[in-house]
Amino acid sequence: MTPPPHSEAAIAGATGRASRYRWAICALLFAATAINYVDRQMIGVLKPVLQADLGWKESQYADIVFWFQAAYAIGFLFMGRFMDAIGARFGYAIAFGFWTLAHIAHGFVRGVTGFAFARFALGLGESGNFPAGLKTVADWFPQRERALAVGIFNAGANVGAIVTPLLVPAITLAYGWRAAFIITGLFSVIWIVVWLVLFRSPAEHPKVNAEELALIQSDPVQPAGRMAWGRLFTRRETWAYAAPKFLTDPIWWMFLFWLPDFLGKRYGLDLKSFGPPLVVIYLMSDGGSVIGGWASSRMMKAGISVNRARKLTMLGCAIAILPVIFVQNVSSLWLAVILLGIATAGHQAFSANLLTLPSDLFPRSAVGSVVGIGGTAGAIGGMLIAKFIGYVLDISDSYAPIFAVAGGSYFLGLVALHLLSPRLERASFDTPAS
């Protein structure tokens, strides 16, 4: 059987063996996302300690999360355009450095207001992670490999979420929670140096041979020039990405910032004991991230359309997540862990496909901006769910309404995607605008 003319096998067979340096770049994105999530999740892991030490109420903790989300929403809106303007190499390094300083600053604040300021700054910096990462994937991978590449680098979020409950409690018990923020922040400096040394564009990189470059550039030629930013808001394709982000991102934030609290209140776990359950949950979500990207990529390689492959995978994810609505009533800790692990795996698999849509639907020159708009929509959803969770826990101390919302959000997100882009057709612009 003759391979398709633009397949990796065909390119390699015609001209020689393609190098695979694009996967080294993917590994750097994976590491960056893992560090990003260690910094992000620490407040959730340390919530019981911080509440006991600083006397926070549930609504005050929710307010701190709210201000992180507010900054994330603001930053995401402009970080995409920033990455499109100056490129991923320096843009990523600047964002990374800024959020590292903000993360370390947590170790020096004293109360709710100080934490809110530190979290706001962290949100601004961390908002650059996914616009830079997705722009890099769009530049370094052909369309049929992007969901897998996104799934791999997005799996760094789960690795960060696994490392955090293992590393942070140990540092906190030995040196205190303030030292935990400072010590973990110092690891980020190493990544920035490695990124600046190793990253270049594919066409300029000495590790990329002609065969790999041909593979990377094997998709149809895209329009040159930059899209007018305001013009993107008028496109259905933009909202096909942003609406599902608004509906599903808040559920991941809920898992990230409140899952240790749920395990503590429902099953009596504490800083010393909730590590193993969280590790299992996020290991399962790690597998979901890669499997979700692999599933749609596999279907596309088998000749199934991008539209059908992405949406069938996302539908399967929504079905897998649905049982989480019952977890509040589960008496067995480890059965609850399995249900939560399946739900987080479903979210990550859903996201691995959702995150490819900007590069599926838009030319590379607009990918960062569209990612930024969608990220802002997701962060606004996160702001709303933070207030909702704080209110529910203050009046009822029950997670049942929260998990009910989580179980249905992915079906709504998929419906919104299908209504706004029934065929996932690329956005067409009469002329590129700068």
> pLDDT value at position 350?
96
For residue range 285-320, what is the model confidence (pLDDT) as tens digits?
Answer: 888 888 988 899 899 989 999 999 999 999 999 999
The two three-digit tokens of residue 92, written as one number: 């990523």
Residue 244 lies in a domain: yes
> pLDDT value at position 434?
40
Closest by CA position to 91, among listed 240, 235, 201, 222: 201
Residue 321 lies in a domain: yes
Residue 1 lies in a domain: no
Residue 8 lies in a domain: no
Percent of the chain residues topping a pLDDT of 70: 93
* Sequence-ordered list of residues with C-beta below 8 angstroms from that of 107, at least 6 positions apart, any chain: 177, 178, 179, 180, 181, 182, 185
Alpha-carbon torsion, ordered 228, 233, 234, 238, to 10 deg: 110
Residue 366 lies in a domain: yes
CB of 433 closer than 8 Å to CB of 337 = no
Residue 426 lies in a domain: no
Query: What confidence category does residue 226 fall into, taking pLDDT thresholds of 50, 70 and 90?
Result: low
Find the CATH number of the domain harbouring 414: 1.20.1250.20
The two three-digit tokens of residue 341, written as one number: 């692990």
Torsion 386-316-237-92 (CA) sign: positive
Residue 7 lies in a domain: no
> pLDDT value at position 139?
87
Domain of 80 in residue numbering reads as 20-217+225-420
Considering only 239-248, 267-276, 408-417, which range has the smallest mean pLDDT? Answer: 267-276
> pLDDT value at position 240?
97
User: Which of helix, strand or coil describes residue 96?
Assistant: helix
The two three-digit tokens of residue 29, written as one number: 């994105």
pLDDT surpasses 90 at 272: no
CB of 39 closer than 8 Å to CB of 184 = yes
With a threshold of 0.85, does the pTM exceed it? Answer: no
Q: In whole angstroms, give the CA distance from residue 257 to residue 247.
A: 17
* Residue of higher predicted confidence among 260 and 415: 415
Give the C-alpha distances (Å, rounded to integers) separating 290 from 60, 98, 324, 353.
36, 29, 21, 10
pLDDT surpasses 50 at 200: yes
Residue 434 lies in a domain: no
Mean pLDDT for the chain overall? 87
Please state the domain count of the chain.
1
* Sequence-ordered list of residues with C-beta below 8 angstroms from that of 24, at least 6 positions apart, any chain: 198, 207
